[in-house]
Chain A
Amino acid sequence: MPVLECKGLTKRFGRVPALEDVSLAIEPGRIVGLLGPNGSGKTTLIKLANGLLTPDGGYMAVCGAPPGRESHGLVSYLPERTAIPTWMSAKQLLDFYGDFYQDFRREAAEEMLERLNIRPAQTIKQMSKGTREKVQLIMVMSREAKLYLLDEPIGGVDPATRDYILSTIIGNYNPEASVVLSTHLISDVEKVLDEVIFINQGRVVLQSTVDDIREEQGKSVDELFREVFKC
Chain B
Amino acid sequence: MLRKLVKHEFRATARVMLPMYLILLVTAVGSNLAGRGMMNGHSDILNTLAVIIVMAFGFAIAGVLLMSFVLMIQRFYKNLLQDEGYLMFTLPVSIHQHIWSKLIVSAVWFVATVLAIIAASLIVAYDVGFLRGFFDFLSWFFEGLQKLKISETLNGTAYLVEFAVLMFLSLAAFSLQFYAALAAGHSRANHKMLWSVVWFFGFQFGLQFLGSMLFITLDRLHIPFPFDLEIHSAEAAIHVGLLMASGFVIVYGAIFYAVTTFFLKKHLNLE
The chain A residues found within 8 Å of chain B, CB to CB, are: 13-14, 47, 50-54, 69-70, 72-73, 75, 77, 79, 81-85, 87, 92, 96, 99-101
Contact = CB atoms under 8 A, between A and B. Distances in A.
Contacts of B269: 53-54
Contacts of A96: 8
B83 A83 contact: yes
B92 A72 contact: yes
13 contacts: A14-B189, A51-B89, A51-B90, A52-B270, A53-B269, A72-B93, A81-B83, A81-B86, A83-B83, A85-B12, A92-B11, A96-B8, A99-B4
A50 B4 contact: no
A13 B189 contact: yes
Contact of A99 (B7, B79, B83, B267): B7
Interface string B1-33: 100100110011001000000000000000000
B266 interface: yes
B63 interface: no
Interface string B75-105: 0000100011111011111100000000000
Contacts of B71: none
B92 A52 contact: no
Contacts of B92: 69-70, 72-73, 100-101
A13 B191 CA distance: 12
A73 to B, nearest CB: 4
B94 A52 contact: no
Nearest to A12: B189
Nearest to B267: A54
Most interface-central of B87, B89, B90, B94 (chain A CB within 10 A): B90
B268 interface: yes
A51 B92 CA distance: 11
Contact of B84 (A77, A83, A101): A83
B: interface residue count bin? 20 to 34
Nearest to B8: A96
A59 to B, nearest CB: 16
Contact of A52 (B1, B11, B84, B89): B89
B190 interface: yes
Given A52-B270, A53-B270, A54-B269, A100 B4 contact: yes
Contacts of B79: 85
A99 B270 CA distance: 24
A96 to B, nearest CB: 6
Contact of B90 (A75, A81, A87, A99): A75
Given A82-B83, A87-B12, A100-B4, A52 B268 contact: yes
A135 to B, nearest CB: 12
Contacts of B93: 69, 72, 100
B260 to A, nearest CB: 15
Nearest to B187: A54
B131 to A, nearest CB: 39
B177 to A, nearest CB: 23
B1 A100 contact: yes
Contacts of A14: 189-190
A86 to B, nearest CB: 9
B105 to A, nearest CB: 15
Interface string B235-270: 000000000000000000000000000000011111
Nearest to A99: B4
Given A100-B4, A100-B93, 13 more contacts: A13-B189, A50-B90, A52-B89, A53-B268, A75-B90, A77-B86, A77-B90, A79-B83, A81-B86, A85-B79, A87-B15, A99-B4, A100-B92
Most interface-central of A99, A100, A101 (chain B CB within 10 A): A100
A72 B85 CA distance: 13
A84 B91 CA distance: 12
Contacts of A83: 83-87
B51 to A, nearest CB: 36
B50 to A, nearest CB: 36
Nearest to A73: B92
A72 B4 CA distance: 16
